[in-house]
Structure 1
Amino acid sequence: MIEIKNLDFEYEDGTMALQDVNLTIKKGEKIAIMGPNGSGKSTLFLCLNGVRKPTKGSILVKGEPIIYNRKGLKQLRQKIGIVFQNPDNQLFSADVFQEISFGPMNLGLDKEVVRERVEDVMSSLHIEHLRKRPTHFLSGGQKKQVAIADILAMNPEVILFDEPTAALDSYHSRIVSKLIDELCESGITVIQATHDSDYAMAWADQIVVISDGKLLAKDTPQNIFGNVELRTKAYIEEPNVMKVYHSLCEANVIDELKECPRSIEALVGEVETIFYM
Structure 2
Amino acid sequence: MSALLEARSLTYAYPGGVLALAGLDLSVSRGRKLGILGPNGAGKTTLLLHLNGTLRPASGEIRFDGRTVGYGREALIAWRRRVGLVLQDADDQLFAASVAEDVSFGPLNLGLTDEETRQRVREALAALEIADLADRPTHMLSFGQKKRAAIAGAIAMRPEILLLDEPTAGLDRQGAALLLNELKRLSEAGTTLVFTTHNVDLAWAFADETALFSEGRVIAQGETSDVLSNPSVLAQAQLQPPLLVRLGMVLRDKGLLQGEAGLPRDEAQLLAMVGIGRR
TM band (smaller chain): over 0.9
| Deviations 1:204-253 (CA, angstroms, capped at 9, x unpaired) | 11100011101100022222122222211212232111111122233343
Distance 2:241 2:162 in 1: 26
What's 2:172 paired with?
A: 169
What's 1:199 paired with?
A: 202
Out of 75, 80, 88, the residue aligned to residue 77 of structure 1 is 80
Q: Counterpart of 1:193 in 2: which secondary structure?
A: strand
What's 1:7 paired with?
A: 10
CA contact (8 A) 1:49 1:82 kept: yes
CA contact (8 A) 2:259 2:273 kept: no
Out of 142, 150, 158, the residue aligned to residue 139 of structure 1 is 142
Matches within 5 A, 1:87-98: 87-98=90-101
Q: Counterpart of 2:275 in 1: which secondary structure?
A: helix
Structure 2 unaligned residues grouped into runs of 5+: none
Displacement after TM superposition at 1:258 (Å)? 6.6
| Deviations 1:161-194 (CA, angstroms, capped at 9, x unpaired) | 1110100122221111111100110011001101
Distance 1:253 1:115 in 2: 55
Distance 1:267 1:159 in 2: 30
CA contact (8 A) 1:158 1:189 kept: yes
Query: How many residues get paired?
Result: 276
Q: Counterpart of 1:272 in 2: which secondary structure?
A: coil
Distance 1:31 1:121 in 2: 22
Displacement after TM superposition at 1:78 (Å)? 0.5
CA contact (8 A) 2:258 2:274 kept: no
Amino acid of the structure 1 residue aligned with 2:264:
P
- Say whether residues 1:109 and 2:93 are aligned partners: no
Distance 1:107 1:141 in 2: 27
CA contact (8 A) 2:5 2:62 kept: yes
What's 1:216 paired with?
A: 219
Amino acid of the structure 2 residue aligned with 1:77:
R
Out of 226, 242, 245, the residue aligned to residue 245 of structure 2 is 242
What's 1:49 paired with?
A: 52
Question: TM-score normalized by structure 1?
Answer: 0.94
Distance 1:185 1:222 in 2: 20
CA contact (8 A) 1:198 1:263 kept: no
Question: TM-score normalized by structure 2?
Answer: 0.93
Instruction: Give RMSD over aligned pairs.
Output: 1.9
Amino acid of the structure 2 residue aligned with 1:135:
T
Distance 2:171 2:23 in 1: 34
97-106 or 217-226: which moved more? 217-226
| Deviations 1:20-72 (CA, angstroms, capped at 9, x unpaired) | 11222111011000000110000000000111001101001112222212211
Out of 21, 24, 27, the residue aligned to residue 24 of structure 1 is 27
CA contact (8 A) 1:249 1:256 kept: no
Distance 2:257 2:180 in 1: 31
Structure 1 unaligned residues grouped into runs of 5+: none
Distance 1:228 1:256, change over 3 A: farther
CA contact (8 A) 2:127 2:182 kept: no
Distance 1:262 1:70 in 2: 43
Distance 1:109 1:250, change over 3 A: same
Amino acid of the structure 1 residue aligned with 2:184:
D
CA contact (8 A) 1:4 1:22 kept: yes
- Say whether residues 1:148 and 2:151 are aligned partners: yes
What's 1:263 paired with?
A: 266
Identity over aligned pairs, percent? 37
CA contact (8 A) 2:164 2:196 kept: yes
Distance 2:23 2:223 in 1: 22
CA contact (8 A) 2:24 2:217 kept: yes
Displacement after TM superposition at 1:8 (Å)? 0.9
